[in-house]
């Protein structure tokens, strides 16, 4: 795997699984913000689009020891993204500013190599032209392009919001690369009623995610693959950390995994 590039700003997320109640507000906010169309048959998971999906995890024990957790899973915005080098049309790339993995829809011709290469299964193919219930098309956001049939899409950390925040800073004569945490937030972060989703620059000590990502309760999904995701999860429950990281039943993880010193300052 190619060595990881370092960026001045590394936008990232820390999702507290002990606060998430699985309400799905983040999923709805994401769908509305990014013009993700509703599918006629949403039970068909192979054909529907969900940039952010909330999974239910269970410790598998009977009552009274039964416990559940909910894990929201958008694109992990990997530091070493598997989806980038496989794309023959340079549609998807690791953004030099902020480390967001972008997707240039007009270039995509739908080969779906990126979908096959992503171990997190967070990319979606448009099997149909998008259709909205009558009247709902009036609520579409002008900031995000509507994707046609035959194109792959995924979470962009609401990239357009960053563009707006930078423009605003420029107009006010400020440095667009030194934003306060609240100047750029994703739609899912704002929508979560439990404050489970934190968003900011992982390298900026003044942003909450900087410290939270170094917590001894922090972990990343499939960390052993070396993809260096920019999304961290938090849980004080060891069974959650083990499941979330896809450890096998008989695998020993030690008391707590200490995450830190992995290149985000
Ligand atoms: S489906 Fe589109 S983005 Fe994905 S690898 Fe093929 S051309 Fe690139
Ligand atoms: S999670 Fe998948 S789609 Fe997102 S950057 Fe990583 S490899 Fe690419």
User: Which CATH number fits the domain that encloses residue 27?
Assistant: 3.30.70.20
Domain interval for residue 120? 11-243
| Residue 84 within any structural domain of the chain | yes
| Residue 256 within any structural domain of the chain | no
Residue 257 pLDDT grade (very low, low, confident, very high; cuts 50, 70, 90): very low
| Residue 99 within any structural domain of the chain | yes
Residue 3 pLDDT grade (very low, low, confident, very high; cuts 50, 70, 90): low
The whole-number pLDDT of residue 258 equals 38
**CA-CA distance, 228 to 206, in Å (whole number)?**
22
| Residue 6 within any structural domain of the chain | no
Q: Whose CA is nearest to atom 5 of ligand 1?
A: 87
**CA-CA distance, 19 to 30, in Å (whole number)?**
19
Higher pLDDT, 200 or 224: 200
Q: Is the pLDDT of residue 79 over 80?
A: yes
Q: Which ligand is nearest to the CA of 225?
A: 2
Q: Is the pLDDT of residue 120 over 50?
A: yes
CA of 119 to the centre of ligand 2 (A): 7
> pTM above the 0.75 mark?
yes
CA of 67 to the centre of ligand 1 (A): 39
Q: What is the pLDDT averaged over residues 138-162?
A: 95
Share of the chain above pLDDT 90, in %: 75
Q: Which ligand is nearest to the CA of 118?
A: 2
Higher pLDDT, 98 or 16: 16
Q: Is the pLDDT of residue 11 over 60?
A: yes
Instruction: Give, in order, the Cα–Cα distances in Å from 110 to each of 47, 77, 107, 120.
Output: 14, 20, 9, 19
* Ligand 1 contact, 126 CB (< 6 A): no
* Ligand 1 contact, 113 CB (< 6 A): yes
CA of 5 to the centre of ligand 1 (A): 22
Q: What is the pLDDT averaged over residues 88-107?
A: 92
- Give the residue, out of 10, 119, 120, with the most ligand 2 atoms within 8 A of its beta carbon, to mutate for a pocket test: 120
* Ligand 1 contact, 4 CB (< 6 A): no
CA of 133 to the centre of ligand 2 (A): 31
| Residue 249 within any structural domain of the chain | no
DSSP sequence for the chain: -PPPPP-S-BEEEEEETTT-----HHHHHHHHHTTPPPPS-TT-TTT---SSEEEEEE--PPTTS--EEEEEE-----SS-THHHH-TT--EEE-TTB--EEE-GGG-----HHHHH-TT---EE--S-----TTGGGG--TTSPPPPTT-EE---SSHHHHHHHHHHHHHTTS-TTS--GGGS--HHHHH-TT--EEEEETT-TTSHHHHHTTSTTEE-TTGGG----SEEEE-S-HHHHHHHTT--TT----S-PPP--SS--
Q: What is the pLDDT averaged over residues 66-82?
A: 96
75 and 115 in contact (C-beta within 8 Å)?
no
CA of 238 to the centre of ligand 2 (A): 25
79 and 4 in contact (C-beta within 8 Å)?
yes
CA of 88 to the centre of ligand 1 (A): 7
Residue 38 pLDDT grade (very low, low, confident, very high; cuts 50, 70, 90): confident
**CA-CA distance, 71 to 55, in Å (whole number)?**
5
| Residue 77 within any structural domain of the chain | yes
* Ligand 2 contact, 83 CB (< 6 A): yes
Looking at the structure of the chain, the number of domains it has is: 1
| Residue 75 within any structural domain of the chain | yes
Q: What is the pLDDT averaged over residues 96-121?
A: 94
CA of 205 to the centre of ligand 2 (A): 25
Atom number in ligand 2 closest to CA 229: 6
Burial of 237 (0-12, 13-18, 19+ CB in 10 A): middle
**CA-CA distance, 103 to 94, in Å (whole number)?**
9
**CA-CA distance, 50 to 151, in Å (whole number)?**
14
Name the average pLDDT for the chain.
90
* Ligand 2 contact, 82 CB (< 6 A): yes
Atom number in ligand 1 closest to CA 125: 1
CA of 120 to the centre of ligand 2 (A): 7
The whole-number pLDDT of residue 249 equals 65
| Residue 264 within any structural domain of the chain | no
The whole-number pLDDT of residue 265 equals 40
Q: What angle do CA 49, 228, 126 make, to 5 degrees?
A: 15
């Amino acid at each position: 795997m190619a060595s990881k590039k370092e960026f001045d700003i590394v936008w990232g997320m820390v999702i507290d699984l002990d606060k998430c109640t699985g309400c799905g507000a983040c999923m709805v906010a994401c769908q509305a913000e990014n013009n993700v169309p509703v599918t006629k048959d949403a039970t068909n998971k192979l054909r529907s689009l969900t940039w952010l999906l909330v999974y239910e995890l269970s410790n598998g024990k009977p009552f009274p020891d039964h416990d559940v957790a909910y894990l929201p899973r958008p694109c992990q915005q990997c530091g070493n993204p598997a989806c980038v080098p496989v794309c023959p049309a340079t549609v998807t790339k690791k953004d030099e500013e902020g480390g967001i993995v972008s997707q240039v829809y007009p270039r995509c011709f739908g080969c779906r190599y990126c979908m096959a290469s992503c171990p997190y299964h967070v990319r979606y193919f448009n099997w149909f032209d998008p259709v909205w219930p009558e009247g709902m098309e009036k609520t579409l956001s002008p900031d995000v392009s509507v994707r046609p049939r035959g194109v792959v899409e995924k979470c962009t950390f609401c990239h357009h919001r960053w563009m707006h925040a930078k423009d605003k800073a420029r107009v006010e004569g400020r440095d667009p690369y030194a934003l306060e945490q609240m100047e750029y937030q994703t739609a899912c972060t704002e929508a979560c009623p439990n404050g489970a989703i934190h968003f900011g620059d992982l390298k900026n000590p003044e942003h909450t995610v900087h410290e939270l990502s170094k917590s001894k309760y922090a972990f990343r999904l499939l960390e052993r693959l070396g993809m260096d995701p920019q999304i961290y999860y938090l849980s004080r429950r060891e069974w959650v950390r083990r499941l979330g990281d896809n450890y096998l039943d008989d695998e020993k993880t030690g008391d707590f995994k200490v995450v830190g010193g992995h290149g985000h300052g």
